Structures are given as C-alpha cells and as structure tokens.
C-alpha cells in the first residue's frame, strides 16, 4: 500500500498542475490559446481542452458548471465529478448530502452529531464546540487567540478567574502574559515581569513605588515599536508623566511651561529657576541668575564671578557708578584698586592702570611709564617695546613680529607675518603675511609698476582689468568689474550688487514717460 500511496500523492500534484499521460500524447506545448492540458498520468501528457467551457477531473473532461467539483481519491488514484448542491466529497468518496456531512475525512450524521475542530461529538442541546470538545451550559471555554483547536473546557466559572491562553487562572495568584501564565508570588526579572520588592508585577499594568505595586497605574503603554513611559514613581507616589511633574520626589500638576525648580514646579513664563530657587520674571528687564539669586538687568545689579555659577555673588550698584567692577566674586572700586590675579589690590599710585607679578607678589603700575618683565618693573625707554607676555625687546636691534623676537641688523629688515625679510631686496614682496618672489621682468627701475598679480597670472593695469583673478582687456573706462565678470557701468539698466550683475528694472514712471 505504501508505494501506491506515494505514487498517488505525486500524481495528485500532477493533476493540479495539469500534466498527465494521455493516449493522444499531447503535451502542454500542444495546447494553444485558452486551451489547457488535461493530463492522465505521470508523463506530462494528456489532451487539450478549452478551460472556458470545461473542467478536467482525473483525465476526464466535464462541462463547466458553477455547482460542480472534482473529488480526488488519493488512495486509489481516481477522481469523480460531483455536484456541490446534492453531494459532498469526503476522503475521496462522493456521498449524497442531506443529514450527512464530512468531518476531517470522516462522514457524520448532522442530526445526531457535530464536528468540533475535526472531531465528531455527540449533538447535545445548548452545547457548543470548544476546541475539539463540547462546552455545556455553565461551563467556561478558554480559547487561545488564533488557535481555536487548542481551546479547553473548565467546569465552573470562578470569581476572579480569567482565561489565559487555554488555561483558567486565579488572577490573584497568577499573572497572564499573553498566552502563558506564571505564579504572582515568584518574582523574576524576565522581559515582561519585573520585581517590586518580592512581588512580581507587569510594568505595563502597574507601577512599583517603594517596593509596593500600584495597580491600574501603568508605567508604560504599548505602542507599535515598544513602550512609552506613562507613569513613574515619584517619592513613593505613582505619577503620570504627561499630567504631572516630579520635582525632587514631589508631584506637581504639569502645564506646557512647567519646569522643576528644587522641589517646586515653576511656570517658565513667569519665573526663572536660580539654582533651585524660583525667581519672578520682570516684564521689562531681562531676568538673570546670580548663583541662587535672581536679578534684573536694570543697571542696578552686578553679578561677580558669573563663570562660577554656584559661587557668584550679587551686588547692588548705583546706575551712575561705573567705577564698580568685579574681581572674581568681589566687587571693587576701580578708581582706587586693581584686580590682580583675582585679588583686589589698592593702587599704589592714582595713575596705576595695570599690575605686574614679580615672583609671587603683585605690584600695580602705570603702563605708560613701565614695562612688566620677568624680573619686575622696568622703566619704559623709547626703544623698549613689549613683545608677547612679559617680554620686551630693544627696538634698536630687535624686531617683534607677531610676538616673535628677531634681530634687526638694519632698518631694511621688516616683519612679514612672524618672520622677517629684507625690504630693500626688490625681488621680495610681503603679501598677507607671507613672502612672494617678484618676477624679474618688472624690475626695470624708475618705471611705474604696471604689472600686477591677477590670480595666478600677471596683468598690465594700463591695458587690462583684473576681476577677482580673471583678466579682461580694458576697452573703455565704463567697463567695471562685477564679481569675476565685466559690466558696462554707464548703462543705466545695469547695476552690480554683491558681485552679481543685475538687469535693472526700468521704473514704472520712466516707462510711462
Ligand atoms: C476507489 O475508491 C473509491 C472509494 O473507496 C471506490 O468507490 C472506487 O470504486 C475505487 N476505484 C477503484 C478504481 O478502485
Ligand atoms: C480514507 O480512506 C482510506 C482508504 O479507503 C482509508 O484507509 C482511511 O482510513 C480513510 N481515512 C479516514 C480518516 O477515515
Ligand atoms: C441520521 O440520524 C437520524 C437519527 O438517528 C436517522 O434517522 C437517519 O437515518 C440518519 N441518517 C443517515 C444517513 O444515517
Ligand atoms: C484565588 O486566590 C486567592 C489568593 O490565593 C484565594 O484567596 C482565593 O480563594 C482563590 N480563589 C479561588 C476561587 O480559588
Ligand atoms: C530585578 O531587577 C531589579 C531592578 O533591576 C533588581 O533590583 C532586583 O534585584 C532584580 N530581582 C531579581 C530577583 O533578579
Ligand atoms: C492638579 O490637578 C487636579 C486635577 O486637574 C486638581 O484637582 C488639583 O487641584 C490640581 N492641583 C494643583 C495644585 O493645581
Ligand atoms: C539690593 O537692593 C534690593 C532692592 O533692589 C534690596 O532688597 C536689597 O536688600 C539690597 N541689597 C543690599 C545688599 O543692599
Ligand atoms: C570709588 O572711589 C572714588 C574715589 O575714592 C569715590 O569718589 C567713589 O565714590 C567710590 N565709589 C564707590 C562706589 O564707593
Ligand atoms: C638687503 O638687501 C640689500 C639689497 O639687496 C643689500 O644691500 C643688504 O645687504 C641686505 N641686507 C641684509 C641684512 O641682508
Ligand atoms: C556702455 O553703455 C553706454 C550707455 O548705454 C553706451 O553708450 C556704451 O557704448 C556702452 N559701452 C560698451 C563698451 O558697451
């Protein structure tokens, strides 16, 4: 029987693909247009038929009617046409319908039996199928979603019990996690259940605060791609993230402009928060913070040490007093003192305007007459000049080029960037801080220098124009540069703006006149 069955199954496949053996030995290539092959055997041969008019059933063609089907018997490789209206096909055999029907290849009597998910059950009044079983009145059927075949019947509906998959569970003892359940008391940190003290809870349905579960307040709610935080714990109180704000463990109502300020919640339209202390905003002046104190930029306040926000100190100053200055966090009178290395120092002389560090001590001085050098204050001679921090040069023999000290053997030596060059050398030219070699052709002495650089080329200023590195022949003085291009500046309809040559629109009045 076994090899026969195998053969039958293969041939059924062939029947569906409409390939089979036929005495006329036509193949699918012989069938044209609306024709199909009705095959008889395994060789992919049969005969052609018109699929608009007929259907093929086991190597035989029958007229196409809406109510007919083909009943294939896979056990002995036969097929029969039958009428849906009066007959049915069950396990390859055609039966007359009436009180009979087919239940998973087995015939049953519909007046005495029911078919429950492929299993025949005795017909009972008031009963319903529950999976493959029958559910009587007063019983509970727990059916897993999308898997009705595995539904199970439970005898008594019980209070506080719920279906979980096909299980029926006491919800105070178990958690239902989609179709599987687990005891409540066992706390495990799996993907869904988290521990709250020793209790397990579902963060989507409850919030854990201080090792206590708050039911009905969910930390999260499910979205398409994950969870969104909805509730969090705020000082032992579950708090709605959308409606409330948690400020250092205190819950406050939330508005669009709410912000925590210490334990308080402030309206940012009305107040600023200065290191945890709220301060009312001014309608006219800008409100700022100085450490934990708020102030208005009204010219009456000075905040010293703003860079160290937590230690800055706020001072009241009078608007007329512009001698008040900050020295770190201290306020000082700049007519009497100077801020030296972060410390206020009384001026040694009234005219002192700078301070100089000599070893570890500071000294105030007048920069008009003194220079601060490593060894201390040096009387300023006309030939002394500061070059960088704490360094001076003698301008009689030295040059300071952007903070770099160079010897100056002659006055012809000049700075070019941080370097020096011999300005008497006609071959050398300093452009934008770097040395350029002049081409020798233009070196005829005594002649005005008409040759100038235009981008990477030279041009003659008498005959040519250079527009941002592009050379043009100079035809008339009216032609001017506009960006890299030329335009006729005498033409009243043309203007040059931002290097773009514009066609000027004639004014309406001009057009009418
Ligand atoms: C095949 O089986 C069906 C049902 O068992 C039977 O009615 C039919 O006569 C059989 N055909 C052959 C050719 O054995
Ligand atoms: C279907 O028919 C075959 C052959 O007659 C038989 O062996 C098989 O048990 C039948 N299947 C069922 C489910 O009755
Ligand atoms: C179906 O069952 C009813 C009631 O037992 C009986 O009268 C009837 O003959 C049965 N039908 C068939 C086709 O066996
Ligand atoms: C459900 O579980 C709770 C807690 O264990 C228990 O008190 C209750 O009796 C159970 N309910 C039923 C119907 O068994
Ligand atoms: C579960 O996770 C929490 C928080 O991560 C942790 O404090 C607790 O110890 C974990 N419990 C178990 C049983 O793993
Ligand atoms: C917070 O909102 C609730 C509900 O809208 C309201 O009853 C309560 O008075 C509000 N509390 C404060 C402090 O505004
Ligand atoms: C600064 O002025 C405010 C009023 O603008 C006043 O309340 C405060 O006491 C004053 N502070 C000092 C140190 O004078
Ligand atoms: C600063 O010092 C000058 C001169 O001693 C004095 O006139 C002025 O009032 C002082 N300013 C303040 C704010 O004390
Ligand atoms: C500078 O150049 C001139 C002319 O080439 C030359 O006479 C003079 O010696 C140069 N000076 C130095 C310091 O190189
Ligand atoms: C420039 O424009 C003026 C006025 O339109 C015209 O007379 C002159 O010929 C133009 N010059 C050139 C070089 O096109």
Per-residue model confidence as pLDDT tens digits over 55-76:
888 888 888 887 888 998 888 8
Q: Which atom of ligand 8 is nearest to the CA of 333?
A: 1
Mean pLDDT, range 270-298, rounded to an integer? 92
Alpha carbon of 113 to ligand 3 centroid (Å)? 10
Residues 290-314 pLDDT 10s: 988 999 988 889 899 877 666 889 9
More confident call, 483 vs 120: 120
The reported pLDDT for the residue numbered 478 is 85
- Whether 487 is covered by a domain: the verdict is yes
d(CA 155, CA 152): 10
Alpha carbon of 503 to ligand 10 centroid (Å)? 14
316 CB near ligand 8 (under 6 Å): no
The reported pLDDT for the residue numbered 192 is 67
The reported pLDDT for the residue numbered 498 is 64
The reported pLDDT for the residue numbered 429 is 83
The reported pLDDT for the residue numbered 22 is 39
Mean pLDDT, range 451-478, rounded to an integer? 85
504 has pLDDT over 70: no
The reported pLDDT for the residue numbered 234 is 85
Alpha carbon of 220 to ligand 5 centroid (Å)? 18
Mean pLDDT, range 239-261, rounded to an integer? 87
The reported pLDDT for the residue numbered 8 is 36
Tell me the ligand closest to 490's alpha carbon. 10
The reported pLDDT for the residue numbered 496 is 78
More confident call, 290 vs 200: 290
d(CA 464, CA 281): 64
User: Please, which pLDDT band fits residue 512 given cuts at 50, 70 and 90?
Assistant: very low
Structure tokens at 494: 């043309």
- Whether 262 is covered by a domain: the verdict is no
334 has pLDDT over 80: yes
- Best-predicted range by mean pLDDT (6-10, 379-383, 457-461): 457-461
181 has pLDDT over 60: yes
431 and 389 inside one domain: yes
Structure tokens at 501: 């040559």
**269 within 8 A of 259, measured Cβ to Cβ:** no
The reported pLDDT for the residue numbered 260 is 92
* Residue 25: C-alpha distances to residues 38, 42, 48, 166, 391 (Å): 11, 12, 10, 56, 111
Dmax (CA) of the chain: 130
- Whether 396 is covered by a domain: the verdict is yes
User: How many Cβ atoms are within 10 Å of 335's Cβ, its own excluded?
Assistant: 12
More confident call, 198 vs 311: 311
- Whether 290 is covered by a domain: the verdict is no
- Whether 336 is covered by a domain: the verdict is no
Mean pLDDT, range 200-228, rounded to an integer? 70
Q: Specify the 3-state DSSP secondary structure of 436.
A: strand
The reported pLDDT for the residue numbered 339 is 92
436 and 475 inside one domain: no
Nearest to 350 by CA among 365, 339, 362: 365
- Whether 410 is covered by a domain: the verdict is yes
More confident call, 25 vs 402: 402
Domain tally, the chain: 2
* Residue 80: C-alpha distances to residues 36, 53, 55 (Å): 19, 18, 12
448 has pLDDT over 90: no
322 CB near ligand 8 (under 6 Å): no
473 has pLDDT over 70: yes
435 and 464 inside one domain: no
**460 within 8 A of 450, measured Cβ to Cβ:** yes
The reported pLDDT for the residue numbered 336 is 92
The reported pLDDT for the residue numbered 64 is 82
The reported pLDDT for the residue numbered 510 is 37
User: Please, which pLDDT band fits residue 166 given cuts at 50, 70 and 90?
Assistant: very high
Domain housing 503: 459-513
377 has pLDDT over 90: no
Percentage above 70 pLDDT, the chain? 84
More confident call, 167 vs 3: 167
Q: Specify the 3-state DSSP secondary structure of 129.
A: strand
426 has pLDDT over 50: yes
334 CB near ligand 1 (under 6 Å): no
CA angle 172-176-177, nearest 5°? Answer: 145
Alpha carbon of 343 to ligand 7 centroid (Å)? 25
Q: 144: Cβ–Cβ under 8 A, 6 or more apart, which residues?
A: 150, 151, 165, 166, 179
How does DSSP classify residue 30? G
- Whether 474 is covered by a domain: the verdict is yes
Percentage above 90 pLDDT, the chain? 27
Structure tokens at 229: 């935080």
How does DSSP classify residue 28? G
d(CA 278, CA 266): 7
78 CB near ligand 1 (under 6 Å): yes
The reported pLDDT for the residue numbered 1 is 33
The reported pLDDT for the residue numbered 227 is 55
- Whether 402 is covered by a domain: the verdict is yes
**pTM (two decimals):** 0.39
Residue 274 C-beta-side C-alpha neighbours within 13 Å: 23
385 has pLDDT over 60: yes
User: Please, which pLDDT band fits residue 189 given cuts at 50, 70 and 90?
Assistant: low
Q: Specify the 3-state DSSP secondary structure of 350.
A: coil
Residues 97-118 pLDDT 10s: 999 999 999 999 999 999 999 9
d(CA 435, CA 365): 40
Q: What are the pocket residues of ligand 9 if the criterion is a CB atom closer than 6 Å to any ligand atom?
A: 409-410, 412-413, 422, 424-425
Alpha carbon of 424 to ligand 9 centroid (Å)? 6
Q: What are the pocket residues of ligand 3 if the criterion is a CB atom closer than 6 Å to any ligand atom?
A: 99-100, 109, 111-112
Q: Which atom of ligand 8 is nearest to the CA of 318?
A: 13
């Amino acid at each position: 029987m076994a090899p026969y069955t195998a053969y039958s199954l293969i041939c059924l496949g062939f029947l569906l693909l409409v390939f089979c053996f036929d005495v006329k030995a036509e193949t699918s290539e012989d069938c044209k247009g609306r024709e199909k092959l009705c095959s008889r055997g395994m060789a992919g041969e049969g005969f052609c038929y018109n699929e608009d008019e007929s259907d093929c059933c086991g190597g035989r063609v029958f007229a196409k009617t809406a109510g007919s089907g083909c009943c294939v018997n896979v056990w002995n490789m036969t097929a029969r046409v039958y009428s849906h209206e009066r007959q049915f096909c069950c396990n390859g055999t055609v039966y007359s319908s009436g009180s009979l029907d087919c239940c998973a290849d087995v015939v049953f009597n519909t007046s005495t039996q029911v078919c429950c998910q492929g299993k025949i059950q005795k017909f009972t009044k008031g009963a319903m199928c529950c999976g493959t079983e029958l559910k009587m009145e007063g019983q509970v059927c727990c059916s897993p979603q999308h898997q009705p075949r595995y539904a199970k019947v439970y005898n008594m509906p019980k209070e506080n019990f719920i279906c979980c998959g096909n299980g029926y569970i006491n919800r105070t003892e178990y958690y239902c996690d989609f179709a599987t359940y687990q005891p409540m008391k066992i706390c495990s940190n799996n993907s869904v259940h988290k521990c709250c003290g020793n209790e397990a809870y579902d963060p989507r349905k409850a919030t854990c605060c201080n090792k206590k579960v708050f039911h009905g307040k969910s930390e999260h709610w499910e979205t398409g791609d994950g969870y969104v935080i909805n509730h969090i714990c705020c000082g032992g109180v579950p708090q709605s993230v959308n409606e409330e704000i948690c400020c250092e463990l205190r819950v406050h109502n939330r508005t669009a402009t709410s912000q925590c300020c210490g334990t308080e919640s402030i309206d940012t339209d009305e107040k600023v928060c200065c290191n945890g202390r709220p301060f009312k905003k001014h309608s006219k002046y800008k409100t700022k913070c100085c450490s934990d104190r708020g102030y208005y930029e009204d010219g009456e306040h000075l905040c010293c040490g703003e860079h160290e926000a937590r230690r800055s100190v706020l001072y009241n100053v009078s608007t007329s007093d512009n001698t008040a200055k900050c020295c770190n966090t201290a306020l000082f009178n700049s007519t009497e003192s100077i801020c030296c290395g972060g410390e206020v120092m009384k001026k040694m002389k009234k005219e002192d305007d700078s301070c100089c560090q000599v070893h570890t001590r500071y000294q105030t001085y007048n920069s008009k007459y003194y220079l601060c050098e490593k060894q201390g204050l040096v009387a300023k001679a006309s030939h002394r000049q500061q070059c960088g921090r704490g360094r001076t040069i003698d301008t009689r023999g030295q040059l300071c080029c952007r903070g770099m000290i160079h010897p100056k053997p002659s006055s012809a030596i000049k700075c070019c960037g941080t370097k020096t060059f011999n300005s008497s050398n006609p071959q050398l030219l300093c452009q934008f801080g770097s040395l350029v070699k002049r081409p020798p052709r233009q070196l005829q002495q005594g002649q005005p220098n008409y040759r100038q650089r235009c981008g990477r080329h030279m041009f003659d200023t008498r005959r040519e124009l250079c527009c941002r590195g592009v050379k043009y022949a100079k035809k008339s003085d009216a032609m001017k540069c506009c960006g890299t291009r030329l335009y006729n500046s005498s033409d009243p309809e043309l203007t040059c703006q931002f290097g773009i040559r514009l066609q000027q629109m004639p004014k309406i009045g001009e057009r009418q006149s």
